[in-house]
Amino acid sequence: MWRYAWRSFTYLQEVSLSTRFLIRGGYVFFPEEESLRRADVEIAEGRIKRIAETLPAEADIRIIEAQDKLLSPGLIDLHAHLREPGREDTETLESGAWAALAGGFTTICAMPNTQPPMDTREQAAFISKRSDELGLARILPVGAATKGRAGEEIAEYALLKEAGVVAVTDDGDWIYSSEVMRCALEYAGMLGLVVITHAEEPSLCEEGIMNESTVSAKLGLKVRPAVAEEAAIQRDIALASCTGSHLHVAHITTTRGVELVRQARVKGIKVTAEATPHHLLLTDEALLSFDANYKVYPPLRTEEDRKALLEALKDGTIQAIATDHAPHAIEEKEQELDLAPAGMIGLQTALSVLWEGLVEPEVIKPELLLRLLTTGPASVIGEKVELKEESPANLMVFDPAARWTFDAQNNRSLSQNSPWFGKKLKGKIEHVFLGERHFSF
């Protein structure tokens, strides 16, 4: 029964191997019709047994009261850095999968910029196998787009696909050679794999650490301008158009970048995009604090850009919200801004901060947020999300009113580089069901 409990923690959360559950009175998100309505849901033997307005509480059933809580299919993250192999001091597949579960994510895609980079069948197979062994959030490997992530020669996609990769990318770096990117798209396209681009033209970003704006002028810091993203997206769209293959733009951040994706989609070019919680909630003004937790690539942009991202969520230009969970050691993040590595963790806090920042002030509807975290990302990697009778119990329960502080006690990641670390948050994951396993937090 305790097999899945994480050894390193003394405050074990309950992990039980099934009895029957009745989740009562919650607002249930039905992904197919994208609606949210009150219902009782019964789970037995790892499957959804019954869904109805009210269900009887039979004798041997465990009841979870979910009035005013949300019941949804488990969330899917297209973009997480788990640091294994190479930097297991900052995150492992195991700790990352726990952080995911605690954030309501039941599927996460592991980015390949590990040490060594994940560019072979063996490495991808290791991730898939380890994911099965752990029995926590499912970890889907993403393969390196080029050998060694060097940007020169594409990796063996057919072999990577056999080992379970759902996409290829050199995330962290843009593939500089247009010829290599064209090959990547052609080869991936033949195999039905999506190519994810980290769209920053590096020659425009040399040594830059923040957005180019009045804030950077004030701080006197070197910049990674919006045009670096736009130039990169423009080339990648041109190559997606000529190959007919599926391009996915990771962590899109700029007004014009979004406009390029919008126009390409109108023309029928196969391009999708994701935005991160931090780019949807924060701007470059956060760096006035000199806190390296706000240093991310691509950088936080202006309020105008942030608003453009919100519009793009609403009109369907952006399909998914992805965390770009990027763990770093404290001593590295505590260096001055120039030296600190870029990135923040986000798996465990994503839904809480998005709910409080976007749904509560009615910037976006709860149904849209849930789509962007379930069916949206699923569609990018060709997966399906269901919540109906007889489908596997792959669910999470979220209490939008619960208050909690994200701190060393409840942080499941091995790193704590988040601007929300130590802060009071509203909205918390309480339960996750993964087939016959039940986790409560």
- Gap between the Cα atoms of 48 and 31, Å rounded: 15
Cβ contact 264:240 at 8 Å? yes
User: Does the annotation flag 83 for ligand binding?
Assistant: yes
* Shortest separation between residue 191's beta carbon and Zn ion, angstroms: 22
180, containing H or E segment: helix 178-191
Integer CA distances (angstroms), 125 to 128, 236, 367, in order: 5, 29, 35
Nearer to Zn ion, 230 or 324 (CB): 324
**Which tokens sit at 301?**
């942009």
- Torsion angle, alpha carbons of 77, 81, 82, 87, to 10: -170
User: Does the annotation flag 50 for ligand binding?
Assistant: no
User: Does the annotation flag 134 for ligand binding?
Assistant: no
Which one-letter amino acid corresponds to residue 157?
Y
In this chain, which stretch among 168-176, 217-225, 230-238, 333-341 interacts with Zn ion, using CB under 5 A? 168-176
Nearer to Zn ion, 174 or 398 (CB): 174
- Torsion angle, alpha carbons of 112, 113, 115, 118, to 10: 20
**Which tokens sit at 9?**
């923690």
Site for Zn ion contains 248 (CB under 5 A): no
Residue closest to Zn ion, measured at CB: 198
Single out the residue of 324, 372, 381, 441 in contact with Zn ion (rule: CB under 5 A): 324
In this chain, which stretch among 34-42, 160-168, 187-195, 197-205 interacts with Zn ion, using CB under 5 A? 197-205
- String marking each residue 294-323 x if it binds Zn ion according to CB under 5 A: ------------------------------
- Catalytic residues, by residue number, are 324
Maximum Cα–Cα distance across the chain: 67
* Shortest separation between residue 203's beta carbon and Zn ion, angstroms: 17
Cβ contact 199:249 at 8 Å? yes
Give the closest residue to 72 by CA, choosing from 109, 22, 35, 110. Answer: 35
* DSSP result, 89-103: TT--HHHHHHHHHHT
* Shortest separation between residue 128's beta carbon and Zn ion, angstroms: 20
- Gap between the Cα atoms of 144 and 52, Å rounded: 45
In this chain, which stretch among 3-11, 167-175, 231-239, 302-310 interacts with Zn ion, using CB under 5 A? 167-175
In this chain, which stretch among 143-151, 169-177, 215-223, 226-234 interacts with Zn ion, using CB under 5 A? 169-177
User: Does the annotation flag 251 for ligand binding?
Assistant: yes
Give the closest residue to 277 by CA, choosing from 375, 158, 378, 420. Answer: 420
User: Does the annotation flag 211 for ligand binding?
Assistant: no
Single out the residue of 69, 161, 182, 198 in contact with Zn ion (rule: CB under 5 A): 198
* Shortest separation between residue 66's beta carbon and Zn ion, angstroms: 34
- Gap between the Cα atoms of 148 and 155, Å rounded: 8
* Shortest separation between residue 324's beta carbon and Zn ion, angstroms: 4
User: Does the annotation flag 79 for ligand binding?
Assistant: yes
User: Does the annotation flag 438 for ligand binding?
Assistant: no
Residues within the annotated binding site? 79, 81-83, 113, 171, 198, 251, 324, 328
Applying CB under 5 A, the residues found at the interface with Zn ion are 171, 198, 324
Residues within the annotated binding site for substrate? 81-83, 113, 328
Residues within the annotated binding site for Zn(2+)? 79, 81, 171, 198, 251, 324
